[in-house]
Amino acid sequence: MGIHAVKSCARLVVLASGGGRTLENLHQRILGGHLDAEISLVIVSRGDLGAAERARRLQLPMLVIGPKNYPNTERRNDLLIGAILEARPDWVILAGWLQLLPIPPQLEGRVLNIHPALLPAYGGKGFWGHHVHEAVVKDGALLSGCTVHFATSEYDQGPAVLQTAVALEGKESADEVAAKVFAAETEAFPEALELLIDGRLTWHKNQVYWGNSAPVIED
C-alpha cells in the first residue's frame, strides 16, 4: 500500500482592531468545512475590544499588541512581526486592523486586507470603517462594495484579489450602507482566501495572476 501525503490546511494569523465579526465569520466558515484553514493566532490591538471577546469565546489563541500596552512604535512592531512569524502563517488576515503593518520580506504577498469600498475609490489614509460609508453617502453614490487586496507598505495600495459590488439607492444612511457592504464582505473574504489557498490565484512582484499565468520564478 502506497503512502499518501496528507494535505495540511492553511495556517491563518488574524489581526483585528474592532468588533471581530470578520474573525468569527472566517472561524464559522472553517468549522463548516467551507474553508480549508485553521486560525493559529489572533492578535488584537486592545484586550477590551469585541474581537478579543470573540477570540476568547471561540477559544482561539490570542495576543494583545497595541499602542496602549506597547506605546513605543518600534518595539510594538518588532513584537508584532515576531509573533506573526513565530506562528508560521500561510496567510495573515487584516480583519479591521487599523494600524499600518510593516511587512517584512518573509510576509510579502501573504498579507490580505479587506476594504469596505471598491478601491481605488474611497481608499487611502483616513478612509476606514464608518468614514468610508459616510463619504459614500455624502457623494450620493449608487454603487459601493468591498475589495480584498494584498496589503503593502501603503494604505489600500496593494493589488486586488477580488471585488464585490453592492447597489445603492442613494438614500441609505451610513449605517445602512455599512450593513449592505458587510454582508458582501462575509462572502468575499472567504472566497478570495479560498482562491489563494487552492492556488487558483497567485501573487508575484506585487501583481495578481490567475491559474498558471504567473511568470516562472527561476533561482
Give me the active site residues, please: 115
Instruction: Please tell me the distance from the alpha carbon of residue 72 to that of residue 65, in angstroms, as a whole number.
Output: 11
Burial of 195 (0-12, 13-18, 19+ CB in 10 A): middle
The amino acid occupying position 112 is L
Q: What is the DSSP string of 25-77?
A: HHHHHHHTTSS-EEEEEEEES-TTSHHHHHHHHTT--EEE-STTT---HHHHH
Q: Which cell goes with 72? A: 513605543
Q: What is the DSSP string of 69-87?
A: T---HHHHHHHHHHHHHHT
Measured from the Cβ of residue 20, the count of other Cβ atoms closer than 10 Å reads 24
Measured from the Cβ of residue 12, the count of other Cβ atoms closer than 10 Å reads 26
Helix or strand holding residue 139 (H, E): helix 130-139
Place of cell 472566517: 26
Instruction: Judge contact between 193 and 94, C-beta under 8 A.
Output: no
The amino acid occupying position 141 is A
Interstrand relation of 91-94 and 111-115 (parallel, antiparallel or unpaired):
parallel
